[in-house]
Structure 1
Amino acid sequence: MHDTSLYSSILGLSSQWHIANAVLDSKARSLRLDIAARSCAEFCCPVCGGAAVRVGADKGCWQHEDLLNMRFHISAVIPVTLCKTCGTNRISVPWERAGSCFRCMDNP
C-alpha cells in the first residue's frame, strides 16, 4: 500500500480514522479507499454531543465522480454509538459534511 496521507487530508480524516486499504486503477482512472474508525477511537453522540459508547458498526459506500481526475469510491465501517439521552445513532463521517460531492451509494 502507498502513502495515504494525501487522501486523508482531502477527506478531512481526523486521527480517529484510518485508511485500511487503497487501490488505484490507473487504466480505469479510479481509486477505492477502505476506511475504518480506529478501534481505540472514542466518539461523542452525533445528536447531542454528549458522552456515548460504541455499540456496533454500519457499513457504507460513497462515490465521487471526479476528484483529482479520478472516480473515488469509499467503503467504510462506521461506528454506531449509544447515548443515554439520544439512544443509538450512527456517527457522522467527515466526507458527508455539508457541501461534499460524495454521494452515498447505499440510498441512491
Structure 2
Amino acid sequence: MLTFVNYLGQAVSTAPVAKSKSKAVDLDPYHKGWRVVGLPPGAVEDAEQEHKKKSFEARAAGKTILDFNPLEWMQKARRKAVRSKPYSIHDAAAQCAELAEKAGWTRVEIMEIRKGEAP
C-alpha cells in the first residue's frame, strides 16, 4: 500500500471526498426587477470604424467584404444596460429610459427580469 506525504512530511489521506448534494432547482420563477437596455451614444460610429479597419485588412488579404449597414448592425448588436443595478419599480425604469433617450441612447427598452428565465 502506498502512503503519500506533503512537503512537511505529514501523511496525506487518499480517501475519496464525499460530494455534497446540490440544491434543488426552483422551477417557480419570480420577479427580480426592471432593467433598461439600449445602444449607447457613439456605438454605431465605433462599430463603423471597426468595420472599416477590418475591411481594410480583409481587402489587403484579397477578400471582398460588404459595406457597413448601420440599420442591420443596430438590429444585431447586443444592447447594454444603462444602469448595472435593476430597478425595483417600473416607473423608475421608465424615467431612466426617458433620460437615456435624451442623453443619446438608441433602441432603448425596458426588460423585466425574472428568476429562472433569461433577462
| Fold match (TM-score > 0.5) | no
Q: Going by fraction, where is helix more abundant, 1 or 2? A: 2
Q: TM-score, normalised by structure 1?
A: 0.22
Larger Rg computed on CA atoms: 2
Choose between structure 1 and 2 for higher RCO, CA contacts under 8 A separated by at least 6 residues. 2
User: With structure 2 as the length reference, what TM-score do the two structures score?
Assistant: 0.21
